């Protein structure tokens, strides 16, 4: 629904914005979520710039202490007129003013501000390096705020076992396979929904991740058994849809449908679905592989499809048992 609303605005957005988003999508292969985020960030930025440069009258509540009122005021600004002439007038000071606004008025977190900086860097780089219509990337020197790395939320081993057992007892091969795949393969929600039958190749699965990058996922015994059981049902369904997982209309099962299946599985074993999600199952798979499977960090990076090792390294800080053992093994631990 959000994507549809953004697409309606996209076709009416400034031409230069359409060129950038199209380039990010078709050439850079960025995901739908990423391009949506770029579009949203640039829309907010240029609406602010129009007020900041006094190209439009400052709306009432533009700097309201009420965040929602301030956001609404900015949304009322039309961003028509965003062209190369305006873009060339933007300075580093203008960008810092915008970031200050997002911090003071919109109360954006460091992570949210860092994302906006990343968007502006990409956008101005596109203009300077790809289209070559501005002399330099004015945003490249912006200092990115330090962001805190949060430890991943995950299910403990016994909770994971209960979730799998409960799902199996419900005797729904499709839903059971979904739970087993999440907990054994560490896939993203979008990756699971995007699986086609032709992606299954013996004991491996080709998964398409962020940026349309493909990786091979190796299937263990639990996944292979659940997959074979489900395929015996799936192949009987007459449909032209190549998707592995289908909904009741014999079409590809969407992300919302998968989330509802997972929520129902959580309810069956008393897990708070407000605290956990499909992405938390990905965290669980990664955590259990590292904590109990002895998987090294580089291998885990490949399994999860992380571009940067630093993204995977968060899982090296979760083993409280090891930390406790290390404290006990300190030669000064004995009472003197």
Catalytic residues: 188, 210, 279, 282, 306, 315
Q: Are 99 and 143 in contact (CB under 8 A)?
A: no
If you ran DSSP here, which 8-state letter would residue 212 be given? G
Residue 200: strand, helix, or coil: strand
Rg (alpha carbons) of the chain, rounded to whole number = 24
Residue 218 pairs in a beta bridge with 204
For 235, other C-beta atoms within 10 Å of its C-beta total: 9
Distance CA 86, CA 96 (A): 17
C-alpha of 204 from chain center: 24
Distance CA 133, CA 302 (A): 38
Residue 92: strand, helix, or coil: helix
């Amino acid at each position: 629904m959000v994507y549809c609303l953004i697409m309606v605005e996209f076709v009416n957005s400034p031409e230069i914005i359409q060129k950038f988003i199209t380039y990010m999508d078709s050439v850079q292969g960025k995901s739908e979520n990423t391009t949506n985020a770029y579009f949203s960030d640039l829309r907010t930025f240029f609406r602010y710039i129009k007020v900041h440069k006094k190209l439009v009258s400052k709306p009432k509540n533009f700097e309201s202490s009420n965040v929602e009122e301030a956001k609404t005021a900015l949304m009322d600004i039309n961003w028509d007129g965003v062209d190369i002439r305006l873009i060339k007038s933007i300075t580093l000071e203008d960008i810092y003013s915008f970031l200050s606004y997002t911090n003071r008025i919109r109360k954006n977190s460091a992570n949210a501000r860092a994302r906006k900086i990343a968007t502006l860097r990409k956008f101005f780089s596109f203009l300077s390096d790809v289209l070559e219509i501005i002399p330099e990337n004015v945003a490249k020197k912006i200092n990115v705020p330090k962001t805190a790395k949060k430890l991943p939320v995950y299910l403990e081993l016994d909770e994971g076992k209960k979730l799998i057992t409960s799902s199996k007892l419900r005797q729904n091969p499709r839903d059971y396979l979904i739970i087993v795949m999440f907990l054994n393969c560490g896939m993203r929600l979008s990756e699971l929904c995007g699986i086609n039958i032709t992606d299954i190749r013996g004991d491996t699965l080709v998964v398409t991740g962020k940026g349309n990058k493909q990786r091979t996922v190796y299937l263990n015994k639990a996944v292979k058994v659940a997959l074979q059981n489900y395929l015996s049902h799936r192949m009987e369904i007459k449909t032209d849809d190549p998707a592995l997982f289908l909904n009741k209309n014999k079409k590809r099962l969407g992300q919302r449908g998968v989330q509802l299946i997972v929520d129902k599985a959580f309810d069956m074993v008393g897990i708070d679905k407000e605290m956990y999600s499909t992405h938390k199952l990905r965290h669980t798979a990664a955590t259990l592989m590292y904590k109990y499977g002895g998987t090294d960090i580089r291998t885990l990076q490949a399994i999860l499809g992380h571009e940067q090792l630093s993204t995977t390294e968060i899982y090296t800080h979760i083993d409280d048992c090891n930390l406790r053992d290390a404290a006990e093994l300190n030669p000064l631990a004995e009472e003197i």
